[in-house]
Structure 1
């Protein structure tokens, strides 16, 4: 059957590998555990797990085109249209010594299961892209019904029948009778069990006890702040995030939100901006409860904590954090953590004449770009705490930028000062005092949370500055 069969079989091997590999980046508990190992965390880019997941999905699409295309356009026509004498001498035994027609081949278990998998993937893959996930009010009502996070969430669970069909497909292979040669299950067994175990852990950990809501606040810009009771044994690091579920909206939907509390706080807190259908419903539920004076808030379940790129701030002596709008949330936890460690350092120094053993950055710069002045009220208490703690040591510097609207040009112009600050740091000048600093090689961590367009620009800037100076700017973007 020539190159057709070898191409199809080669593509099949890549599909087996990728179908196993694609589950690993979304095993969040495992990744959070692995990233606590400094050696692994410095070698494996755990922060890019979702991007890696998407790249593998692209590899699967290419594999499907090669595997399915060569079978449908080359292998099957050759089998059905080959000379009967050649057919009898070669592969007749695999087809019961009766030469099948093209449509008879399509109706076999192996081909039908393969086509079914492709159909399910053709539904799930497009609905997982950026545009369908963002439900815009400007879209026609008929289109809005098939967009939004709900559509992505439910369509993505088509992977369950896909993996079931994959096993069926692999058990009824053409020209392969030996069970040892049917290796698909060997590829996917461990990743499937690992992922299934993680989902079971999530159900057990979060499904049997709701979290008590201590305080609810509604801020301008339709931002909901939840202060939650910290579950027993819950430990997190600054920069981590949790998943939240509200069964009154949906018992299946879990949404990620950065923690805005410090690791040593005796409570958990999140700030939720109404950007999608689920967050709008959640805001409305709590708004109604507050306005009507209800004593009982909607039930909330949490799952986590999970590691994020922001928690890598402890690797650097100088930290630059850039948040656009609600993108400031992962950095609030970091600021509170720094404030707590500064207090400890002062106490230890006063009591023992020694500094704290806990690592404190030499400098931490926060740049917050927002469209409404009222947004600054979201974290007034935190900013005041930072200001009070920061008076003597001046470790943290906060810069606020106000733009009228979130247009690309306005947001970019608001980042001019950030770029200038980085430019000064490039030449060994302190960002604030503009005085020369040590010219020794140093790494600066640049952390960003916001729109992707500006992320690319900031990353290019970091790369540009790092190539012409001893100072290395390491860029990190928040990915959920």
Structure 2
């Protein structure tokens, strides 16, 4: 008689990014392919927002995407453009603040950008928000979020490399106020 191993299964468990819905203010940081889970989250939040879902606590999203190559922005720009247009039509243009950071480029790309800098939309994405070049200044970003949300609990979510996780975790601690009535940042890491 053969013995069959017993196995227990526990779950299902959600990802850290599902907790985005628990915060009034969220900072979403995707690096490279780490943007993938945030695409569905941004769509989901927007649908809940449009449907006036009473369970949706989120009132402000800050979204950051760091990527090495311009063609990677193309597939995601369509989603952002649709949300950008809908939010403006509803008078909610400040619900989503997004910043795209191109961390790698060559001289030809730089020349093209300089020639087209006066355009109303970004030459890379076609969005109203212009692409930033290089890496974010996280101190500046956290200071800005804290200033705009002086009494909020801010969920900070990353889908990206461990080195960036360490930086963001330190910034969350640095920019959280000891006064419980003021801004607090909570760090959440998504693995990929």
Do they fold alike, i.e. is TM over 0.5? yes
> Does the alignment pair 1:476 with 2:175?
no
CA distance in 2, matches of 1:343, 1:363: 14
Q: Is 2:26–2:154's contact at 8 Å kept on the other side of the alignment? A: yes
Q: Deviation of residue 393 (structure 1)?
A: 1.2
Secondary structure of the equivalent of 1:388? helix
Q: Which residue of 2 aligns with 1:222?
A: none
Unaligned runs of 5+ in 1: 1-163, 165-188, 199-303, 346-355, 406-412, 431-436
Secondary structure of the equivalent of 1:390? helix
What is the 5 A alignment of 1:176-195? 193-195=7-9
CA distance in 2, matches of 1:314, 1:331: 12
CA distance in 2, matches of 1:357, 1:403: 39
Q: Deviation of residue 306 (structure 1)?
A: 5.0
Under a length normalisation based on structure 2, what TM-score does the superposition of the two structures give? Answer: 0.72
CA distance in 2, matches of 1:376, 1:305: 32
Q: Deviation of residue 468 (structure 1)?
A: 4.5
> Does the alignment pair 1:396 with 2:96?
yes
Unaligned runs of 5+ in 2: 106-133
Q: Is 2:28–2:157's contact at 8 Å kept on the other side of the alignment? A: yes
> Does the alignment pair 1:329 with 2:36?
yes
Q: Which runs of 4+ in 1 moved over 2 A?
A: 467-470
CA distance in 2, matches of 1:311, 1:458: 19
CA distance in 2, matches of 1:374, 1:385: 18
CA distance in 2, matches of 1:463, 1:398: 22
Q: Deviation of residue 315 (structure 1)?
A: 1.1
1:402-431, CA deviations, whole angstroms, 9 ceiling, x for partnerless residues?
A: 0117xxxxxxx6121x431212333xx22x
1:48-76, CA deviations, whole angstroms, 9 ceiling, x for partnerless residues?
A: xxxxxxxxxxxxxxxxxxxxxxxxxxxxx
Q: Which residue of 1 aligns with 2:16?
A: 309
What is the 5 A alignment of 1:16-27? none
Secondary structure of the equivalent of 1:447? strand
Q: Is 2:23–2:57's contact at 8 Å kept on the other side of the alignment? A: no
Q: Is 2:21–2:45's contact at 8 Å kept on the other side of the alignment? A: no
- More helix per residue: 1
Q: Which residue of 1 aligns with 2:25?
A: 318
- The root-mean-square deviation of aligned C-alpha atoms, in Å, is 2.5
1:373 to 51, 70, 88: 70
Q: Which residue of 2 aligns with 1:459?
A: 169
Q: Is 1:341–1:360's contact at 8 Å kept on the other side of the alignment? A: no
Structure with higher Rg: it is 1
Q: Which residue of 2 aligns with 1:28?
A: none
